[in-house]
Amino acid sequence: MHPLIKNVLLNKEEINKRTNQVALEIEEYYKKIIPNEEPIVLVGFLKGCVPFMGKFLENFSLSCQTEYMLISSYGSNIKSSGKPEILLDLKIPIENRHILIVEDVIDTGITLDFMVDYFKMQKPKSIKIVTMLDKVNSHKVDIKADWKCFDVGDDFLVGMGLDVNERFRNLPYIGVIDTEKLKNWKW
């Protein structure tokens, strides 16, 4: 384990098991409302969504299309600026489509709230949210995931897409960063 990681919060097996359970719950929901294999549009926000979205897709058997967007509110900081900016938009129209946002973590919720409002202007049939992690105590807006894998505390987390300065996204687990060590860390 890297010296900046204090401990493993969620291991690979726990993440895989819960992601599978949530994918099945979501399938059951959509089977009741979508006729004739109409594809659901799964939208992930780069870069953090990639590992979780991959795991989710392995377990999701309904017809779907995947789209990715790049939204920035962090820059090189460890805290959100609170001002989301779309750097890469969807390449397909979403009007009259079912949208499922596949998120790695809901932290303040500001970016996600901004994106839900952005999608609503495009008049989809529905917008739902699934997240791997939910930092409920960190929310600064009233936003809730329709499905989530885990509630977590306010620790600075890395792995499974979560990063510090673009590092640690590739860890197959969720680890807690030692923020005291990070202050003086020489990369």
Number of domains in the chain: 1
Q: Is the pLDDT of residue 76 over 60?
A: no
In a domain, 75, yes or no: yes
In a domain, 172, yes or no: no
| Half-sphere exposure in the Cβ direction for 21 (13 Å, CA) | 11
pTM score of the predicted model:
0.92
CATH number, domain with residue 57: 3.40.50.2020
CA distances from residue 128 to 6, 18, 42, 147 in whole angstroms, order as listed: 34, 18, 10, 8
Catalytic residue among 107, 134, 142, 151: 107
Q: Is the pLDDT of residue 80 over 90?
A: no
Upstream peptide bond of 140 is cis (omega within 30 degrees of 0): no
Q: Which amino acid is at 7?
A: N
Judge contact between 18 and 28, C-beta under 8 A.
no
In a domain, 27, yes or no: yes
Contacts of 5 (CB under 8 A, 6+ apart): 158, 168, 175, 176, 177, 178
pLDDT at 108: 93
| Tokens, residue 46 | 């780069």
Q: Of 20, 80, 15, 69, nearest to 46 (Cα)?
A: 69
In a domain, 123, yes or no: yes
CA distances from residue 69 to 34, 50, 72, 103 in whole angstroms, order as listed: 24, 11, 10, 11
Judge contact between 2 and 178, C-beta under 8 A.
no
Percentage of the chain lying above the pLDDT 90 cut: 88
* From 6-20, 36-50, 65-79, 145-159, the region with the lowest mean pLDDT: 65-79
pLDDT tens digits, one per residue of 21-65 = 999 999 999 999 997 778 999 999 999 999 999 999 999 999 999
In a domain, 168, yes or no: no
In a domain, 127, yes or no: yes
Is 154 designated active site?
A: no
In a domain, 134, yes or no: yes
Beta-strand ranges (E) seen in the chain are 5-10, 40-46, 64-72, 85-88, 98-106, 126-134, 147-151, 157-158, 174-177
3-state helix, strand, coil in the chain (%, to 5): 30, 30, 40
In a domain, 130, yes or no: yes
Domain coverage including residue 65:
11-32+40-153
